[in-house]
Amino acid sequence: MQAIKTQIDRAEYLRLDAASPVKHEFYRGEIFAMAGGTFSHAKISLNISSHLHALLRGNPCRPMNSDMRVATPSGLDTYPDVSVYCHEPELADNDCTLLNPVLIVEVLSPGTRSYDRGDKFMLYRSMPSLRDYLLVESESVFVEHYQRIGPHEWHLHEYQQSSDVLDLASIGQTLEIARFYDGLGLS
């Protein structure tokens, strides 16, 4: 990703982002425009959000879509495809930034795959509240589930079958992988 603006502070980023019809990511004084996704990317994100919304009804945890900005202690401000918080949300920036997600989901595309697995995940790990990180492929059935098992320790479980079921202890739910890909004809 190439920065569209550099050498600015977070306050200026927040002003620019609030006034723009395009979402932006901010890290270390640089702003990056977030590109729109493909049909598959959007469908998978909606499927996961809808599935979580239905599962978490009456539960103290709530899903948020990609309109909810997340800020990390490591200095990243970004808009994950899906995030979930439990109990009371910790909000900043006039209720535009969530600080305590327990689950973050990123739907992968060719242009973001390496970043979401690497640098972005490293920055997300600085959030003490984060318990689960899901990376969901948009071109095939493949889900990577990183689960925090200690302060600096994560366990990886991969799912490659639509019949697989993923256990998210952080929200007390199991998710059917097939629901992620509903309506896309991927197997």
**Would the pTM of this model clear 0.85, i.e. be above it?**
yes
Q: Are residues 98 and 161 in the same domain?
A: yes
pLDDT in tens, 81-126: 999 999 999 999 999 999 999 999 999 998 889 999 999 999 999 9
Q: Are residues 15 and 69 in the same domain?
A: no
Q: Examine residue 61 and state whether it is found in any structural domain, yes or no.
A: yes
> Rounded to the nearest 5°, which phi and psi values hold at 42?
-65, -40
Q: Are residues 73 and 5 in the same domain?
A: no
Q: Are residues 30 and 58 in the same domain?
A: no
Q: Examine residue 132 and state whether it is found in any structural domain, yes or no.
A: yes
User: pLDDT-derived band of residue 6, with 50, 70 and 90 as boundaries?
Assistant: confident
Residue 5 has a pLDDT of 67
Q: Examine residue 22 and state whether it is found in any structural domain, yes or no.
A: yes
What is the DSSP-derived secondary structure letter of residue 8? -
In terms of residue numbers, what domain contains 45?
A: 38-180
Mention every residue, 6+ apart, whose C-beta is less than 8 A from residue 53: 63
Q: What is the biggest distance separating any 2 CA atoms in the chain, rounded to whole angstroms?
A: 48
Q: Examine residue 117 and state whether it is found in any structural domain, yes or no.
A: yes
Q: Are residues 135 and 95 in the same domain?
A: yes
* Contact indicator for 155, 141 with CB cutoff of 8 Å: no
Q: Examine residue 158 and state whether it is found in any structural domain, yes or no.
A: yes
Q: Are residues 56 and 142 in the same domain?
A: yes
Q: Are residues 16 and 98 in the same domain?
A: no
